[in-house]
Amino acid sequence: MTLFSVDGKTVVVTGGSRGIGRMIAAGFVEAGATVFISARKAAEVGKTAAELGCTGVPADLSTPEGVEELASAVDGPLHVLVNNAGATWGAPLEEYPEHAFDKLWNINVKGVFALTRRLLPGLRAAASPGDPARVINVGSIDGIRVPPMETYAYSATKAAVHMLTRHLARQLAPEHITVNAIAPGPFESKMMAFALDDPASRELVASGVPLGRIGRPDDMAGAAIYLSSRAGAYLTGTVIPVDGGVSSFTP
């Protein structure tokens, strides 16, 4: 096995039908992994799975039933779990609905915990001292810094994802399962469409990135593959910003 190889590994990517999840899933498929993707909308999951050459499993991971549907579709050892499925909500402070916190907690945090716990048998079956099983949680730079937009539940739940990552990492390290998080900055996604679809707004976002551009699919796939390969086998409990320097250099 070469340093960055994931060839032959079995990988689950939640929220894999579009955006960051699709970027990660496509990178694993191209690198020779066997990939399962999930999302709520069956038509989108099927379309993306056919385009990428992977297996699609429709599932709402904010519910116990959805967690069980996905877990039942993945047999045998599971080398990599990418918890990417998530949602956001923006509204002015005085109008911010309480149920937004409930919705985002269920999918962004509770869903990550429930699916990871349910898939532990497969992760344990794949784990070894030299090649741990991997859990990668997709957080956000908005869980690291205070975001400029009024997305209170989103930033709070993504900060919770980062802490959950550290907590799970400590618990699972003796079992040779690493748990790390990726904190994306601006990438093409439905969540960022409001800011990136308009050319002027897109240029404004890019100008706020120290490296001067929006993230590309291979930037995101590369971070996930690194964490899943021999190269990343000695990392656990980390939160890695993949943001062009935004969270490090922007006040």
Q: Which of 231, 190, 203 is nearest to 19 (CA)?
A: 190
For residues 49-64, average pLDDT: 97
| Residue pLDDT, tens place only, 154-200 | 999 999 999 999 999 999 999 999 999 999 998 876 665 555 666 76
pLDDT over 70 at 250, yes or no: no
For residues 84-98, average pLDDT: 94
Full residue range of the structural domain in which residue 235 is found? 10-244
Active site amino acids: 154
Please provide the distance, in angstroms rounded to a whole number, between the alpha carbons at the two ends of the chain: 42
- Number of neighbours of residue 26 by Cβ within 10 angstroms: 23
pLDDT over 80 at 137, yes or no: yes
Name which residue leads in pLDDT, 210 or 52: 52
Range name among 11-15, 115-119, 244-248 with the lowest pLDDT average? 244-248
- pLDDT over 90, % of the chain: 83
Residue 143 lies in a domain: yes
pLDDT over 90 at 127, yes or no: yes
The pLDDT score that the predictor gives to residue 208 is 81
**What's 118's domain CATH number?**
3.40.50.720
| Cβ atoms of residues 234 and 176 within 8 Å | no
Instruction: Output the pTM of the full model.
Output: 0.93
Backbone angles phi, psi at 61, to 5 degrees: -80, 5
| Whole-angstrom distance, CA of residue 124 vs CA of residue 216 | 33
Residue 2 lies in a domain: no
- pLDDT over 70, % of the chain: 93
Dig out the tokens for 213 from the structure: 């551009």
Is 150 exposed, middle or buried (CB count within 10 Å of its CB: 0-12, 13-18, 19+)? middle
The pLDDT score that the predictor gives to residue 207 is 74
- Crossing angle (nearest 10°) for helices 217-228 and 19-30: 60
Residue 150 lies in a domain: yes
Dig out the tokens for 177 from the structure: 């399962």
For residues 106-122, average pLDDT: 97
Range name among 7-21, 93-107, 190-204, 218-232 with the lowest pLDDT average? 190-204
Residue 4 lies in a domain: no
For residues 62-80, average pLDDT: 96
Question: Which 8-state DSSP code applies to residue 145?
Answer: S
pLDDT over 90 at 98, yes or no: yes
Residue 63 lies in a domain: yes
Residue 161 lies in a domain: yes
Cα angle: 24, vertex 242, 178; to 5 degrees:
65
Buried b (16+ CB within 10 A) or exposed e, 234-250: ebbbbbbbbbbebbeee
Dig out the tokens for 65 from the structure: 């039933």
| Residue pLDDT, tens place only, 10-31 | 999 999 999 999 999 999 999 9
| Cβ atoms of residues 215 and 185 within 8 Å | yes
For residues 125-149, average pLDDT: 95
| 37-46, Cβ contacts within 8 angstroms, sequence gap of 24 or more | 37/12, 37/13, 38/12, 38/13, 38/14, 38/70, 38/85, 39/14, 39/15, 39/85, 40/66, 41/17, 44/17, 44/18, 45/16, 45/17
For the chain, the domain total comes to: 1
